[in-house]
Amino acid sequence: MSFPSLEQLHALNPVQQPTYPDPAVVAGVVDQLRSRPPLVFAGECDDLRTKLAAVADGRAFLMQGGDCAETFAGVSAQNVKNKLQVLLAMSVVLTYAGQVPVVKLGRIAGQYAKPRSKDTETRDGVTLPTFRGDAVNGFEFTEAARVPDPRRLLEVYNASAATLNLTRAFVTGGFADLRSIHSWNATFVRNAGVVERYEKLAEEIERAMAFMVACGIDDESMRTVDFHASHEALLLEYEQALTRIDSRSQQPYITSGHFIWIGERTRQLNGAHVELLRSVRNPIGVKLGPTATGEDAIAIADRLDPDREPGRLTFITRMGAGKVRDNLPRLIETVEATGRKPVWVCDPMHGNTFETANGYKTRAFSQVVEEINGFFDVHDELGSWPGGVHVELTGDDVTECVGGVRDLTESDLESRYETACDPRLNRNQALELAFTVAERLTDGRINRINPVQEFTPVEF
């Protein structure tokens, strides 16, 4: 099976692409990327697709999270460890609450570019190209920094390779031991001043772990985890150059990440991004905002997943706290009336962004929680499975979103506002969110038969 050339993709007038000043330099970079080894392997993508099929079937839950936009300066062992620590700690809480496996998927090792609503930015009467992520141009507001440079794509590759190497070492080298992960949650509960019900949940998890150890359960599954990488497939030169034909199946895979998604701004049915992703075998996602209709979702599903393959397609909804209960039901009902069972995931971040009086782009933790609660409420009413959450977060103690257990205010934002693009939940807010989602998963578990836990005693 073939995949489209760059010339074919550019003929479709792709949106959200940088305008590079020298085509010859672009061509040279693309040639270099095509000669480099894959960052992930086709078999790993297939494994993830199998896991996502379980999510779609209500037998697993997806925890996807990481930076809004990664930076080259952030590629360090400490930063990678901090992000993994938070994601793994959240996953333990969700696994216990849902009593189903949690698929762990990072916005990591490739999330270096961002779509933007405007092509230019003006400050003090000076207009320059918008910062589109380290993959495209520099954050510094100077003419030289803001010129798109295709050679940055080589740095994306190098940074992603380093991040994946660190991640694989961490999750298989003892860092992901279940007992260590739970200790991070226990420390959060003790020190953060959280409500009593979170303390009770943490104590329950501790007793469950003690029970497993007492029963002699001490195998490899206690010490290692499966962890996959994802990012938005935005920059066509990078993604197309890293598309490879798998030697086993002769099928094309984008080898820049295990799971790739199409954003709300690039999901044109006959656009270049859909054209590229429909030709590859990776599990893929599509962001759906508040204007998306069920008919829109069906059309893009038919385009990307005509064979209705389990685990192939994930819909990541980003409605906003005030719209999720009105807009999401029709979307789910229309899609599932066709017999499709995609993975339904809630992105509670992108629909809840606002600017403060002191000029910071932020999100209110309460609104993030409200959208998640709306997402679960809708699925509870329809009897469908709330398959996962997609969250922008960091493992650091930044001050970018207001509210949460530390009750950050708008005046606190200037303390450690470090994001390269959109505001992220900090470590404590992310863990608090995990306990909030855990409560909803516990409610759902009570109200349904758990297919993972079904058991028929043997009669003698």
424 is in an annotated binding site: no
318 is in an annotated binding site: yes
Radius of gyration of the chain (CA): 22
107 is in an annotated binding site: yes
Q: Side chain identity at 31, as an amino acid letter?
A: D
Residues in contact with 458: Cβ distance below 8 Å, sequence separation at least 6, in sequence order: none
The residue with tokens 């855990």 is 438
459 is in an annotated binding site: no
Region for 152 from its dihedrals, namely left if φ exceeds 0, alpha if ψ lies in -120 to 50, beta otherwise: alpha
* Phi, psi angles (nearest 5°) of residue 424: -115, 155
149 is in an annotated binding site: no
Nearest Cα residue to 197 out of 338, 50, 47, 97: 97
Q: From CA 42, how far away is CA 54, in angstroms rounded?
A: 19
Q: From CA 150, how far away is CA 235, in angstroms rounded?
A: 10
155 is in an annotated binding site: no
Q: Side chain identity at 282, as an amino acid letter?
A: N
Question: Within a 10 A sphere around the Cβ of 183, how many other Cβ atoms?
Answer: 13
Question: Within a 10 A sphere around the Cβ of 8, how many other Cβ atoms?
Answer: 13
287 is in an annotated binding site: yes
Q: Which residues pair with 64 in a beta bridge?
A: 105, 390
Q: From CA 277, how far away is CA 261, in angstroms rounded?
A: 9
Q: From CA 319, how far away is CA 370, in angstroms rounded?
A: 11
**Looking at 176-273, which runs of residues are DSSP E strands?**
227-232, 243-245, 252-254, 259-262
Question: Within a 10 A sphere around the Cβ of 221, how many other Cβ atoms?
Answer: 10
392 is in an annotated binding site: yes
116 is in an annotated binding site: no
- The string over 9-48, giving b where at least 16 C-beta atoms fall within 10 Å of a residue's C-beta and e elsewhere, is beebebebbbebeeeeebeebbeebeeeeebbbbebbbeb
Q: From CA 247, how far away is CA 258, in angstroms rounded?
A: 17
Q: From CA 73, how far away is CA 419, in angstroms rounded?
A: 12
Residue set of the binding site? 68, 107, 264-265, 287, 318, 350, 392, 422
Residue set of the binding site for phosphoenolpyruvate? 107, 264-265, 287, 318
Residue set of the binding site for Mn(2+)? 68, 350, 392, 422
